[in-house]
Amino acid sequence: MKSKIIFLIVFFIGVNSKAQVSGVGINKDNPQQALHLGSQTGTIRVDGLNSTNNTFNGGGVDKTYPVYVDHNGDLTLKTAAYDNSDGDDAFLTAAINGTLTILAADVPNDGYATSEITSFVFTLTRPTIVEIKYSISLEVFQNNLFTIIKDPYARNITNFFTLNTPVLLDTTRRYGASSKCYFNRNDAATNPAAAPDGATGYIYNSGTTYIPLPAGLHTLRFYGTACSGSANRPTFVRFAGGPDSIFIKLY
């Protein structure tokens, strides 16, 4: 009888040990994961992520900061982008189609023109939500001799991008559209009091979009458009002449 009791004790100890190996429970007798926190009101504190020990924690009472997971599975406050121009010029004029022109003789006479500026190709190894930000410079003139516009008509300049993927059949959808309107009523015939010239320099269009995408190869195409109204009024737009930026981040 004594030997049977000892056997049963050993048996239950063995079963209990196997149950504990499957997970660690804190305030939880039956852990369902490798680490299971049973408290309904408690929080988790990691000293390596606090403002004293971590330069990426900005501190401040009642302020919070996002926690990320790196390729090792380590928790970190440091964020990394898939692509970030980070001060470099993302749209080099020499390598892209950086101009757009509207001529009076263009057909149709609708005052509208569009052109693909450049493209980026990137590969995703998993389904994810992609954040895409861009900032692109533009200059508006009457022609490619950089003559300043002096007629009484406004020009609307728009930038946007499209995505070409195996599952997104609608590759004409415009993402991150942003527009600026250029106007310089400086024609002596219609505005004699105007100054002789208008301001020159860079104008910027910027956009941000979040898009759920599947794994695979994706092509990001940037476009520029110009509209001079209901008729073709001479217009020349130069894109990406200044410092431009692009930012792509995976979630």
Beta-carbon neighbour count of residue 15 at 10 Å? 10
Question: Quick one: 212 and 100 in the same domain?
Answer: yes
Question: Quick one: 17 and 125 in the same domain?
Answer: no
| Stated pTM of the model | 0.74
Question: Quick one: 71 and 92 in the same domain?
Answer: no
Question: Quick one: 128 and 233 in the same domain?
Answer: yes
pLDDT of 227 higher than 90 = yes
* Rounded Cα–Cα distance for residues 240 and 237 (Å): 10
Q: What is the pLDDT of residue 2?
A: 54
Question: Quick one: 197 and 234 in the same domain?
Answer: yes
Question: Quick one: 88 and 72 in the same domain?
Answer: no
Domain that residue 3 falls in:
1-44
The tens digit of pLDDT for each residue in 114-129 reads 999 988 888 888 889 9
Question: Quick one: 32 and 108 in the same domain?
Answer: no
What number is the average pLDDT over the span 41-67? 87
Pairing type for strands 216-227 and 203-213 reads unpaired
* Burial of 13 per CB tally in 10 Å (0-12, 13-18, 19+): exposed
Question: Quick one: 132 and 70 in the same domain?
Answer: no
